[in-house]
Homo-oligomer: A and B are copies of this chain.
Amino acid sequence: MTDRATAEALDRSDLLGPFRDRFVRADDRIYLDGNSLGRLPSAAIDAAARTVTDEWGRGLVESWSHWIDLPRRVGASLAPLIGAASDEVTLADSTSVNLYKLAAAALDAFPNRSVVVTDSDNFPTDRYVLEGLAASRGKEVRYIDTDPLLGVTADAVAEVMNGDVALASFSLVSYRSGSLADLAAVTDAVRSSGALVLWDLSHAVGAVPIDLGGAGVDLAAGCTYKYLNGGPGAPAFLYVRRALQGALHQPIRGWFGHADQFAFSRDWRPAPGIERFLVGTPPILSVAAAVPGIEMVGEAGIDSIRAKSVRATSFLIDLHDRRLAPLGVRLGSSRDADRRGSHVALEHREGLGITRWLRSAGGVVADFRAPETIRLAVAPLYTTFGEIWDAVEAMHEAVSGERWRDAGSAGTVT
């Protein structure tokens, strides 16, 4: 691994290489922010145009015969990626709203249990949602303090679980460090005390194989705009284990959750299955545009995606060790590929300025999370080893040349 030819050789042997050309690339920038917003699949351009012009413009209200169950059909196409049955998943709302609905349903199923468990490094919206629910119900949030490199471990969870806990909720891949939890072991640790577990899959789905069914997971939610390439703010998904669906009641009783939506009946009667977790009219254009990205992940196969992801993040860490560590950059992600998602966190006290310079002058789009984390994501369907090589070289220039002094003030967002 002494020159760029190493990276080029890896790209030539990459079986996923052909997928790269199915995404729009408007310029030569190196895009390592697919864990924030995935690239645009070319097919999504057509899907959006068809939905607008043919379905809305031509079909008008009669297109609702096709749209009405579109979120459930897309959910069904996503189900194999997370080890779920087709009737256990649907698109709906945003991830935050879905976390709220599912967590509320879980808490309300255990009126006599007073504790919600999460970890202090969990994504802000997850923590805020749980805090709000707990406060409104006179319950308490118990935080696990995790080592960011390890993330949530079954041992740490087991320590805090007891018969008071109604719900434990974690992110499968940490948004900051990229740590990957042991889904089955943590789920076991939660469920052995009789509590329900709720997983946020946002930073994992489409990059990491997930077997919710095999692990016995109760509840999950996640977004479709990162590694699933569903588009900005594309509707989120939610999962409820089939055996629980009839027993849980989410708090937002909307007409899309009614057993007979168009009867307009006087009384609330929740749908028997996953539909009871729906609320209002879904944003059809955003749903339709998300379909090609989700289908492409299924077509490529999550095992192939994961294999490349591991190769590419390992390659990135090796390059970090050789080129960046000597400059004082620190690795903020696990060296154990089994405990790592598809992005690598690099830390530097000038991380914000470095990220800004990379974007404005270095030709590399990464992002930054305070206080010191630069996130570099591998999106296996379109990231190349050559790009990773070049990105590390650009970062070497940024750090060795103290380029943060020249950086603009462009914002960084998820």
Contacts and interface: CB of A to CB of B under 8 A. Distances in A.
Contacts of A100: 251-252, 254, 279
Contacts of A48: 48-49, 52, 285
Interface string A246-289: 00000111111110001111101000000000011111111101
Interface string A200-240: 00000000000000000000000101000001111110000
B65 A413 contact: yes
Contact of A53 (B40, B61, B251): B40
Given A93-B280, A96-B279, A36 B53 contact: no
Contacts of A265: 124
Interface stretch (A6-14, A79-87, A129-137, A326-334): A129-137
Interface string A2-35: 0000000000000000000000101100010100
18 contacts: A27-B58, A36-B61, A37-B64, A48-B49, A49-B52, A62-B365, A67-B233, A94-B254, A96-B255, A96-B256, A96-B280, A97-B279, A125-B280, A129-B254, A132-B252, A132-B268, A233-B285, A286-B286
Count of identical protomers in the assembly: 2
Contacts of A123: 255
A285 B280 contact: no
A160 interface: no
Given A40-B53, A52-B289, A96-B254, 7 more contacts: A31-B60, A45-B53, A48-B52, A68-B413, A93-B93, A233-B283, A262-B411
Contacts of A287: 233
A245 interface: no
A243 interface: no
B61 A131 contact: no
A193 interface: no
A248 to B, nearest CB: 14
A231 B96 contact: no
A369 interface: yes
A413 B64 contact: yes
Contacts of A234: 283, 285
Interface in A59-75: 60-65, 67-68
A309 interface: no
Contacts of A39: 57, 60
A100 B410 CA distance: 36
Given A31-B60, A48-B285, A97 B37 contact: no
B232 A64 contact: yes
Contacts of A255: 96, 123-125, 128
A332 to B, nearest CB: 15
B279 A65 contact: no
A367 B61 contact: yes
A70 to B, nearest CB: 10
Interface in A333-369: 359, 365, 367, 369
B61 A254 contact: no
Contact of A281 (B233, B262, B266): B233
A249 B131 CA distance: 13
A44 interface: yes
Contacts of A289: 52, 285
A73 to B, nearest CB: 15
Contacts of A414: 64, 262
A72 B94 CA distance: 17
A258 B124 contact: yes
A95 B93 CA distance: 12
A370 interface: yes
A93 B92 CA distance: 10
A339 to B, nearest CB: 22
A238 to B, nearest CB: 12
A256 B95 CA distance: 12
Contact of A132 (B52, B61, B251): B251
